[in-house]
A and B are shown apart, each in its own frame.
Chain A
Amino acid sequence: MRAKAIVKDADLKALTGLCAKCGTCRTVCTLYPERKAEIAVARGKIALVEAAMSGEDGDAEAVQEALTDCLLCGRCERACPNQVLVEEIVMKGRADLAEEIGIPAWKRVLFGKVMTSPSATEIARKAAAAGQRLLPGKIPTASGLHYRFPDGLGGEGRTVPKLPAKGFLESLGKGEAAAGEVMLFVGCVFDHVFPQVGRAAYETVKASGKSVAVFRDAACCGLPAMVSGDRRSAAECAEANVRRLRAAEPGSIVFPCGSCLLMFRRNVFSLLPKGTPSYDDAVFVADRATDYASFLLSSGVLDRIPDPPPGEKVGEIGYHDPCHLTGTLGKGPEAREVLSRAVGPAFAEMAGADLCCGYGGTFNVRDYPTSARIGENKVSVAARGGTRVISTACSGCVLQMRDMVARTDPSLRVVHIAELVHQALFRGDGSGLRR
């Protein structure tokens, strides 16, 4: 099928028109060093979208393939001298094409059936946890058990974290954290895959002394569906979430995951039509949505950390900038401030901190070898610079970098900053918060 006139979003013309094809995007593209071809970079993709809009088009599947071959790290957008909104162009192009020719079946089921429903997500995790026991080769690592992914399925060398029998939300008591002035949006990964991160975030936020509720009826934030062009599933997730979040009337909503935050701070607005109640709910949520580090800094929790802070060796802990959180939302200094206060001189600026980890959500599934090469480079640059513990604040980055250290150097650790804060606040013996 030809791509002719499929890409039709009226706004797209104005957006693509700003691209001068200068080539600046080539210098920062995460994917370009891997592909060494113009089709990988922003101006190439923009040329394809322009061609599809004007009828000088290509094969629709091939254009979709080209637009999907992008990590959406946003580095091109930030480097662009004309401030071309590349992410928006790529996402809109994907959405128009998806509407016409669909998306792969596995994505359709995942976004449409599993992620939109909290109970289905939980069932899926349980099934996966049970099925996982059949996988060969447990790998002991410092960051917990990993399973070796079977070869021959396109994920050679991949390790997957051992899924817990119980998720974080499931581990909470029935009435526990049901209402409060602060709402914690844990996110699928920190609920189902790394519940210890959800737990650390919850307890450290609670240490602020404010009443904390945990958002229990959460659907997926919708970002994976949205970036895959499945706007309907993404909108369904977004609508359900903002409606329930508004009903809870929290004073602030804390997101331990940068990608989920991006969804509610920015992306939902292109999914929900202006003037609808959902849009108003989204504005309510966006106004109160904050990243984990910013919340901690404003809450006074960090003042309660004993001085000198307990920690590792000087300069051993680094911070990886999640593309969405630091790059797009500009929240980089906050996490560094939190780390300096929580672990003291153990924190040092990490080599290659702003290099993308190569995860890119579904990109990691569609082209694991490339995703892994980018990720291995990321962690080895950090390790060569002396970092032993890579901390960050996005679920995708944690997933990816844990896999990467298991592949390259299992003695490295990858943690969420909440785990370090938790450790600093509640010293090893679990005796409770120092006051």
Chain B
Amino acid sequence: MGADAWYTFLMNPEALSALGNLFGERLRTTLETRICYSFDATGKKFLPDAVIYPINAEEVRQTVLLANRHRFPVVPRGAGSGFSGGSLPVHGGVVLSTERMDRIVAIDTENLYAVVEPGVVTETLKVEAKKHGLFYPPDPASLKFSTIGGNIAECSGGMSAVKYGVTRDYVLGLEAVLGTGELLRTGVATAKGVVGYDLTRMIVGSEGTLGIVTRATLRLLPHPEAAVTLLAFFSGNGDAVGAVNAVVAARVTPSAMEIMDRTAIDCVQANAPMSLPEGTGSALLLEVDGTPDFAAREADRLEEACRACGALAVRRASDAVGRDDLWKLRRSISPALRRVAPVKLNEDIVVPRSRLADMFAFLRDLSGRKNVRIVNFGHAGDGNIHVNIMISGTDADETRRADEAVEEVFRKTVEMGGTISGEHGVGISKAPFFEMEVGPLGVAVMKRLKGCFDPNGILNPGKIFLEEAAVRG
């Protein structure tokens, strides 16, 4: 694409002027603002025609009505921290930023739920809930900046999913503007509710293609009183995976169970070295929470399981500082990767937990066969592995080999009964492999559903489905 094509407006001027009447200075069409909303954490760029900052559901509704009249795409965006391109305006149109819809409307301490607007930053909700002794468990790695709306759109997971589940498990009800401009309310604000189809779950994880969430009712839990963290070192992936299975067999449910292979540990060692037992080939980070007594007892059982599986050493901490110290190894991996190679193909496959060891063996073999560096770490408790293929981005042959490796990883994952995305979503980066997992009928049914919610294809076109046609007025 030439420089001129890059910033040419694709939307008709009439549509832009109608948006201007609606949003005033909260409509931005300068090239500078459009550039600032052209990216997310995938590193890919698509320029929108305009950016709007609505402050309530009615403005969102009016925007979608205008989009239907003038046929322009509306792409909802939270913090733009996604890894699959879910918020990228691949066909131009309007980026609808939820940054200014960021109120926590209510925290109901009797019925244990919160009502929030989509732009609330996830950690803000966690902190506010904690002030009431309550707990919002989902903890994606990006929780300090990602928003609830974005988490709902992508059904974000996190470290604690092994015990507490993912975003989906905490969304009781939603208010969303459909592609028709209608305002739909779904779900309940009670612990139970089984009336009719579960439209709430339909919208969670739909990546902004079915509706734009304008408000969410989220389940809260009592906050755990205490937590104990363990960091266990093993000589190889096999032992670590063995320990994961031993923990499960012992019927302990950790609130985190994270695995790091030797390549991942090495990445961190280059920047922030920590002392490792000799012969370390992998590490497992485990955490248990609950009452202080319960957490201590469960931690004992975890330690026992690790030692029985050949742990070289187990470090343990129950105070905040010590726990932070142990978490450092795990938390430092992702940022450290950029120093290994400039481009990372960041996949988030999930396999049945019992197949983890097979998958690690496959990845080691694949790395050798394709001659590409693969760094693996992830949420072992859920069978969710972050497979990072690290490349220079400037060597065409290496890029081809890496792309082939990605496809092989996906095929193997599906063959093992797993899924190609545990938490990043399909977006644009996994669209080519979508049918591989859900099958032709799955795709067809989903497309029919899309037609019910968004008949004119206004909402976030070009995502999930590979051949989605561009909407253009």
Contacts and interface: CB of A to CB of B under 8 A. Distances in A.
Given A23-B81, A24-B144, A56-B7, A18 B338 contact: yes
A38 B121 CA distance: 15
Interface stretch (A58-66, A107-115, A298-306, A367-375): A58-66
A27 B145 contact: yes
Nearest to A79: B144
Contact count band on B: 20 to 34
B6 A21 contact: no
Nearest to B82: A23
A38 B80 contact: yes
Interface stretch (B26-34, B104-112, B158-166, B197-205): B26-34
Contacts of B7: 56, 58
B81 A22 contact: yes
Given A23-B142, A36-B99, A47-B39, A58 B31 contact: yes
A23 B3 contact: no
B361 interface: no
B35 A56 contact: yes
A36 B338 contact: no
A21 B43 contact: yes
A36 B6 CA distance: 25
Contacts, number: 83
A26 interface: yes
Interface string B1-41: 00100110000000000000000000010111101111111
Interface string B39-53: 111010000000001
Interface in A6-65: 17-18, 20-24, 26-27, 36-39, 43-44, 47-48, 51, 55-59, 62-63
Nearest to B144: A27
Contact of A23 (B80, B100, B123): B80
B334 interface: yes
Given A23-B41, A23-B142, A38-B80, A55 B36 contact: no
A23 B43 contact: no
B282 interface: no
Interface-centre pick from A48, A55, A81 (highest chain B CB count, 10 A)? A81
Interface string A263-276: 00000000000000
B53 A66 contact: no
Contacts of B37: 38
B451 interface: no
Given A20-B41, A20-B43, A55 B33 contact: no
Nearest to B5: A56
Interface in A60-84: 62-63, 66, 81-82
A264 to B, nearest CB: 29
A62 B35 contact: no
Contacts of B145: 22-24, 26-27
A66 B33 CA distance: 9
A22 B146 CA distance: 10
A82 B338 contact: yes
Nearest to B31: A58
Given A18-B338, A36-B53, A39-B33, A23 B39 contact: no
A44 B38 CA distance: 10
A288 interface: no
A-B residue pairs, 5 tightest by C-beta = A81-B335, A44-B36, A38-B36, A58-B31, A23-B81
Interface of A: 4, 17-18, 20-24, 26-27, 36-39, 43-44, 47-48, 51, 55-59, 62-63, 66, 81-82
Given A57-B3, A82-B339, 11 more contacts: A20-B41, A20-B335, A22-B145, A26-B145, A37-B33, A37-B36, A37-B53, A37-B97, A38-B33, A38-B97, A47-B36
